[in-house]
Structure 1
Amino acid sequence: MTGTTPVLKRNLIVMGVSGSGKTTVGERLAAHFGAPFIEGDKLHPPENVAKMSAGTPLNDDDRLPWLKAIATRLAEADDAPSGVVAACSSLKRSYRAILTSGVARRTSFVFLDGSHALLAERMKTRKGHFMPASLLESQLATLERPGDDEDVIRIDLDGDIDAELEAALATIAREDAAN
């Protein structure tokens, strides 16, 4: 990753269940492109954080204001010279539609897809996050894997964050060169 900073021509939403590494990958993608980063977890209403902290899964009604807040931030960046990178679980197809509604710039989802064992281990070892490991099962049950008809870059998690990041960047570069 040397030379001039490449321009991010699209928005990227790094998605996946809790523990998949959305924030880490999102921050690193944003840094690579010199693009703004939106941490979706920081846009949760306090009621959502309290609910999750207590081990209660969110429902669609809980998530709606949060998804709309992220969508608003994405739409506000439409006129910026560069796209933005956001971290958001984006578990359902309907959530992904909300996130991209009203956004003019192409928006691709970077789906961090890992095994149950890897995700559970990551959740057990992370510190300072409001989402307890006990909610992994509900996240996996809610997850609707992106379909072939969605603008998605699928990254298989294997625990090597550098390899995961390089795979995402290679796909973005290949797609951008083709367009």
Structure 2
Amino acid sequence: MTPIDRDTLRRKLLRTFCVIAGGLATAALILGLLPGSETYRDTNDCFGHALGGLFSHGRRSPCESHWVYVATTPVVAHWNWLLGFLFVLLAPGVLIWRNARIAFALLWSLWAIGAGTIGFLASFDLGDWSVKTVELWPMYAFGIVIFGLLLLLIALLPIACGVFAWVTRNRPEPPPALPRATVVDRR
């Protein structure tokens, strides 16, 4: 394989990853704006009764939950935070689009690990324990799309780069064929 063919193939491979990552990020942004969960609150406060029963002798009375609809919340509470996260996550893709190198793609993978970790820590929330939330389908779809985006950047991109580098490596030239040796008897 000539170096020109190798460069063209590498450019197509890495740009394909950039396009797929951009498509997944666009899908995540659209899904992030949709309604994600419905919140219900217990008007009888059975959670409070149960918690009070732990610290008192016996229960006061049986409690039956009565759930009342409170609100519908979007998948992402602050769309501008999601847009910023996706911008930070996909920023190295612009560099790779302009200068397609395997080393930059591997650094993008490390960048995605760091950005994904920070995004997870920033968005981690145990929620309110006294409410019941019902997750709607956009919430599940958003999780699948973000998981797919991080899987693409953290796992599939380095694997594809490794396979590409192994398949298109410079193989050593075979050793030259030696002339056939013949034994001559000179007695």
Normalising by structure 1, report the TM-score.
0.31
Structure number with greater Rg is: 2
Normalising by structure 2, report the TM-score.
0.30
Of Structure 1 and Structure 2, the greater helix share is in 2
